[in-house]
Structure 1
Amino acid sequence: MDTKRAARAPAGRRPRQEWAWPPASLLGGLGPDARERLWEPGVLARYPADRVLMREADETDFVLILLDGVVKATGRTEDGRDALLAVRMGGDLVGEFAAVDTRPRSATVTTCGPVMARRLTRADFLDRMRRDPRASDAVNRSIVAKLRTANAHRVNFTGCDVATRLARVLHHLAMTYGERTGAGAVIRWPITQPELATLCGAAEPSVHKALRRLRALGAVSTGYRSVRVDDLSLLHAAAHLDM
């Protein structure tokens, strides 16, 4: 298969080989040959915005290697709300838990805009893990990184007020997934204030108040379903990350 042609982006975008995945992502940590060996058995798939790719409690076990775009993972709370658990972007792996343990999906995964991915069956994914130690090691490190982030999220929020928790969430998103622009960063995917509230573990009115404080500091600016970090150093200070 001509992988360059298969991985070609939709019209108007740069060719895939010119895009840079975050170094901390699965694909960002692999060389070109290792990446190709990992995704080669998969089928290239493009999804529109707001498409549910995986649904919580479903017994599907395929894996998606995200090439471009953003997805969000949500979980249903006891009172019927959708809680935002995580975001994943190009370079990340999605769905590997169900592929490894064959249990039902632990979250619903929905596209936040157009997404391009490689879709692998469970059999192909596990076969690559057995045959390619480098791929297996990269996947294991990716899973551990997700667990470490989840643990840090819990620890960092202990005893913090809402403004500090919000600053830490935005700083993490900007540093991990943002596109640096001068002193700040742009988070190029739509995020609502209710979703920010679930990430912060806070009530929406409290998040509104905290956002006003961060805007007054000059750390962030907000628009319709968007947040821009205007000054990462100010946001870093508001998050008390040096404590």
Structure 2
Amino acid sequence: MTGGRDPDRGAAGQRPREGWSWPRSSLLGGVAPAARDRLLALGAQARYPADRVLIRESERTTFVLILLDGVVKATGRTDDGRDALLAVRMGGDLVGELAAVDGRPRSATVATCGPVVARVVTRGDFLDCMRRDPAIAHAVNASIVSKLRVANAHRIDFTGCDAATRLARVLHQIAMTYGERAGEGAVIHWPITQPELAALSGAAEPTVHKALRRLRQTGVVSTGYRSIRVDDLALLSSIAFA
């Protein structure tokens, strides 16, 4: 892993108060304040620029990243050499925990979608914390289970759906989980490309391009440079789950 370490600790070794707020659905947002403070005391703080690879698929590293701010995406290489977007994680989430738990090679490549701040925790410190702190162990296990449930629901929801419906469901899930609410809609500030939307939707890129154009024409979404805005969440939901 590359990137400058930036341990934010004072002379007395005290961690300064963090200025970020995290979604309740994230690991840091869902645990009690005392457990959160113990998690944030692990490792060293690091800052990364956009488009920096933090973890590479198949490598044998075992550190864990506790995301404090920013967004990362996890991708996997397909048999035909394409990069498929597997998941998106943002401030408050845990990244890299599977390799830390089982010691096996990385299952995906993780890269920053913009500037990211994280705490880098060694496998030993992470597992020791889990052993000593049942509250944190339970929260981490619940986080892993939640990710698996989302992945299973994603597969089930897509069964029998056409490409346009799958795209609508992907956009709705991203907007509700990671978007910033704005009036009747939400803004997805981190960059997501049409090939990545195609990978998430399980559709060909030209098909996604046509479906996205229809959503723009009907006033459901609008697109800008490296951003997508859902203008009408209710209408998007009716299309996704009709």
Query: C-alpha separation between the residues in 1 aligned to 2:169 and 2:59?
Result: 32
- Residue 12 of structure 1 is matched in structure 2 by none
Query: C-alpha separation between the residues in 2 aligned to 1:212 and 1:2?
Result: 51
Deviation at 1:30, TM superposition (A): 1.2
- Residue 3 of structure 1 is matched in structure 2 by 15
Is 1:70 matched with 2:82? no
Question: What do residues 162-195 of structure 1 show as CA deviations (whole Å, max 9, x unaligned)?
Answer: 1110010000001101110110001110011111
Tell me, which stretches of 5 or more residues in structure 2 are unaligned? 1-12
Q: How does 1:41-120 map to 2 (within 5 A)?
A: 41-120=42-121
Deviation at 1:31, TM superposition (A): 2.3
Query: C-alpha separation between the residues in 2 aligned to 1:192 and 1:227?
Result: 10
Query: C-alpha separation between the residues in 1 aligned to 2:164 and 2:21?
Result: 32
Deviation at 1:109, TM superposition (A): 0.2
Aligned 8 A contact 1:41 1:120 in 2: yes
Deviation at 1:134, TM superposition (A): 0.8
Tell me, which stretches of 5 or more residues in structure 1 are unaligned? 8-15
Q: 3-state SS of the aligned residue for 2:186?
A: strand
Query: C-alpha separation between the residues in 1 aligned to 2:39 and 2:226?
Result: 35
Percent identity, aligned pairs only? Answer: 74
Q: 3-state SS of the aligned residue for 2:16?
A: helix
Query: C-alpha separation between the residues in 2 aligned to 1:132 and 1:106?
Result: 26
- Residue 206 of structure 1 is matched in structure 2 by 207
Aligned 8 A contact 2:189 2:226 in 1: no
Task: Report the TM-score when normalising by structure 1.
Answer: 0.92
Query: C-alpha separation between the residues in 2 aligned to 1:122 and 1:20?
Result: 26
Deviation at 1:40, TM superposition (A): 1.0
Question: What do residues 42-91 of structure 1 show as CA deviations (whole Å, max 9, x unaligned)?
Answer: 10011111110000000000000000000000000111111110000000
Is 1:225 matched with 2:231? no
Aligned Cα root-mean-square deviation (Å): 1.0
- Residue 123 of structure 1 is matched in structure 2 by 124
- Residue 10 of structure 1 is matched in structure 2 by none
Paired residue type of 1:73: A
Deviation at 1:129, TM superposition (A): 0.5
Paired residue type of 2:239: A
Deviation at 1:142, TM superposition (A): 0.4
Paired residue type of 1:148: R
